[in-house]
């Protein structure tokens, strides 16, 4: 066999092996992705996280398969990897904020601080979570505005999730006049709460004098309700307290200030 024929045979075998490596890689990536999906679904992982991990596994396996195939063809991949790494570093520095949002999105999906449909307050925004994306989270506010909040801001701030617990406490501060009978006021407030079927008996509502303020005696009224009834009870109690206090003659004072005027007496010499 001539040298040219030997080189051709070696090259042909290298190409065949490279094709086999690529075929195994593309076949294996489907198998691995399916296994990852089954494991994630078995553990009831978020669908967005499942899709993200599946895409990440696809990219890694295919990358390794391509590098192995190039090595089989005798192509030195060391310099290629170095070039790709340098380019990746430059891109990473240019897109550090975007990558930070990406990492924050992964953390949110893994630790599940909230999910679609939850009412949250974070990064100065209060709204219902509509979609969880890798780079941002879409919220719908109470006045039907859509706000996209970068995930990095969500992770870097306190997240208040109002939907994780089935019940919420309504916190009201009711001010009455200093002339009011405090025991009468408390009994009236208890009666108002007892007549609202949405207010839970357990835990029991709390009613007590909160402070002696400048213009009023302030009562803390704190009933517990189902989370879905929160705003309805909040609004209705304010209206109900005003109406009932008017019927009972209990005054709700306005801010006021006492002004004392002193008249200085002048002598006859000063007046003349």
CA-closest candidate to residue 112, choices 21, 187, 44, 31: 44
54 token code pair: 């599946």
Identify whether the C-beta of residue 176 lies closer than 8 Å to the C-beta of residue 253. Answer: yes
pLDDT tens track, the chain, 272 positions? 566 666 666 667 777 777 777 787 777 777 777 777 777 667 666 665 666 666 667 777 777 777 777 776 666 666 666 666 666 656 555 545 667 777 787 788 777 788 888 999 988 899 999 888 777 888 999 899 999 999 888 888 889 999 999 999 999 999 999 999 999 999 999 999 999 999 999 999 999 999 999 889 999 999 999 999 999 999 999 999 999 999 999 998 877 677 778 777 665 555 55
pTM: 0.61
Domains, the chain, ordered by start: 8-94 (1.10.287.1260), 114-161 (2.30.30.60), 167-248 (3.30.70.100)
Contacts of residue 200, Cβ cutoff 8 Å, sequence gap at least 6: 167, 223, 224, 225, 226
What DSSP string describes 163-176? TSSSEEE--EEEEE
CA distance 128 to 134: 17
């Amino acid at each position: 066999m001539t040298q040219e024929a030997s080189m051709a045979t070696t090259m042909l075998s290298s190409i065949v092996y490279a094709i086999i490596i690529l075929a195994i890689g593309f076949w294996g990536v489907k198998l691995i992705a399916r296994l990852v999906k089954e494991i994630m679904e078995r553990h009831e992982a978020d669908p967005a996280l499942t899709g993200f991990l599946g895409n990440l596994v696809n990219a890694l396996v295919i990358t390794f398969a391509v590098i192995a195939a190039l090595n089989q063809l005798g192509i030195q991949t060391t310099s290629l990897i170095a070039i790709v790494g340098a380019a990746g570093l430059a891109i990473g520095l240019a897109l550090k904020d975007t990558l930070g949002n990406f990492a924050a999105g992964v953390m949110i999906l893994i630790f599940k601080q909230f999910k679609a449909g939850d009412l949250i307050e974070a990064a100065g925004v209060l709204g219902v979570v509509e979609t969880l994306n890798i780079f941002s989270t879409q919220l719908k506010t109470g006045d039907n505005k859509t706000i996209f909040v970068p995930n990095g801001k969500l992770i870097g701030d306190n997240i208040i999730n109002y939907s994780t617990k089935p019940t919420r406490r309504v916190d009201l501060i009711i001010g009455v006049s200093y002339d009011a009978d405090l025991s009468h006021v408390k009994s009236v407030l208890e009666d108002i709460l007892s007549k609202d079927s949405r207010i839970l008996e357990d835990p029991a509502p709390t009613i007590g004098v909160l402070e002696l303020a400048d213009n009023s005696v302030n009562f803390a009224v704190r009933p517990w309700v189902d989370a879905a009834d929160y705003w309805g009870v909040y609004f209705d109690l304010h209206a109900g307290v005003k109406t009932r206090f008017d019927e009972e003659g209990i005054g709700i004072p306005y801010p006021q200030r006492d002004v004392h005027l002193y008249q200085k007496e002048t002598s006859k010499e000063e007046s003349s």
